[in-house]
Amino acid sequence: MTVKSTPFNMVTAHKQYSEMTDMPSAQRAKVDDMYPTRLATAPVALTQPRRDAVVKGRDLSGPLSQEQLNEFERNGFLFIPNLISGEELSALCQEMSELMNNDTYRDKEFSVTEPASHEIRSLFAVHKLSKRFEKLAKDERLAGAARQIIGDDPYVHQSRINYKPGFAGKGFNWHSDFETWHAEDGMPHMHAVSASLILTDNHEFNGPLMLIPGSHLEFVPCLGETPEDNHKSSLKAQEVGVPSPEVLTTLVEKHGIKAPKGKAGGLLLFDCNTLHASNANLSPDPRSNVFFVFNRPDNRCVKPFAAPKQRPDFLAHGPEQG
Ligand code: 6CS
Ligand code: FE
């Protein structure tokens, strides 16, 4: 691999600073790159220690108990079964199918299809497309939990529906979301949490999310520079910004793999740096979830730390938009 003279390669990654993109210059802060990644040559150490606390708002109001916060801190995720049920859940499922079947969203950049078919795999910015999902993003059961974890009132950095139809839905390779958001969106610190509400039953055969407990405490720098417009292929199948089989083997030997399963209406909260993946859905049952990424306002994105240019807004909203 050759080292190019762009500011995005290994040579400059360690001393790379980013500036706030949309603030007057007087207010611009220099932000240090705490987590160099997308390296041109293999790093000496396979992982770096995390440099940000995991739970930052223990004393703030919210729905989670101290025990639940402890579990989140230890494992990097927390599954809350049956958070939503009955008519409230049916209304959310109905909303999801209306959005997924809305033909005006077809062929839009924010609706991502499977690598080898026209089936929608992910629909982004759903809190902007739907009042019901906008309300859900502000719901104290989700946003309050995020507040307790990240230590401030959150904004929505990204939202999406992931949909895996029976027999046809493909999987997601192992990755840390933070690695992508840091490299490609300029998220400075690990102060974000994902809340994924499952809208179908998740069982072992329909491609539930798998996580490596404890992996959130280590950052895995990834090899390979970010190609131009990487998101156009990475959202279908991520190839850049994924840990090597060697690192994954070590981490799984150390921590194992967990796949929380349950009825529709369960909520999975997971840290932005927890390694996760999912298999294809070879069962007849669809598997879907609606997913909000909550970020701390003082951790708003700056310039990408390791990509040629900013990704579109639908992948990374700012605090004013989110
Ligand atoms: O690109 C994103 O923001 C999200 N999508 C993928 C496939 N990986 C990173 C992150 O979860
Ligand atoms: Fe992810």
> What domains are defined for the chain?
47-299 (2.60.120.620)
* Cα 26 to ligand 1 centre (Å): 32
Q: Which of 55, 80, 67, 57 is nearest to 216 (CA)?
A: 55
Q: Max Cα separation, the chain?
A: 57
Q: Is the pLDDT of residue 11 over 70?
A: no
Q: Is the pLDDT of residue 177 over 80?
A: yes
* Cα 178 to ligand 2 centre (Å): 9
Q: What does pLDDT average to over the chain?
A: 89
What's residue 45's pLDDT?
A: 92
Mind listing the pLDDT tens digit for each residue in 23-44?
444 344 578 999 999 999 988 8
Q: Which of 123, 121, 125 is nearest to 281 (CA)?
A: 121
* Cα 176 to ligand 1 centre (Å): 8
Residue of minimum CA distance from atom 4 in ligand 1: 177
Mind listing the pLDDT tens digit for each residue in 205-230?
999 999 999 999 999 999 999 999 98
Q: Which atom of ligand 1 is nearest to the CA of 231?
A: 1
pLDDT band at 106 (very low <50, low <70, confident <90, very high): confident
Nearest ligand atom owner, CA of 187: 1
* Cα 86 to ligand 1 centre (Å): 31
* Cα 178 to ligand 1 centre (Å): 9
Burial call 135-152: b when 16+ CB within 10 Å, e when fewer: ebbebebbbbbbbbbbbb
Mind listing the pLDDT tens digit for each residue in 69-96?
999 999 999 999 999 999 999 999 999 9
**The residue to which tokens 């929608």 are assigned:** 120
Ligand 1: residues with CB < 6 A are 158, 172, 175, 177, 180, 231, 234-235, 238, 315
* Cα 180 to ligand 1 centre (Å): 6
Residue of minimum CA distance from atom 6 in ligand 1: 235
Q: Is the pLDDT of residue 281 over 90?
A: yes
Mutational pocket test of ligand 1: of 193, 226, 230, 235, the residue with most ligand atoms within 8 Å of the beta carbon? 235
CA 262 to chain centre: 21
Q: Which of 261, 263, 209, 268 is nearest to 89 (CA)?
A: 263
Distance CA(166)–CA(282), nearest Å, equals: 6
Residue 309: both structure tokens together: 């240019």
Residue of minimum CA distance from atom 9 in ligand 1: 177
Q: Which helix (H) or strand (E) holds 269?
A: strand 267-271
pLDDT band at 114 (very low <50, low <70, confident <90, very high): confident
Residue 95: both structure tokens together: 């909303």
117 burial class (0-12, 13-18, 19+ CB within 10 angstroms)? exposed
115 burial class (0-12, 13-18, 19+ CB within 10 angstroms)? exposed
Q: Is the pLDDT of residue 17 over 60?
A: no
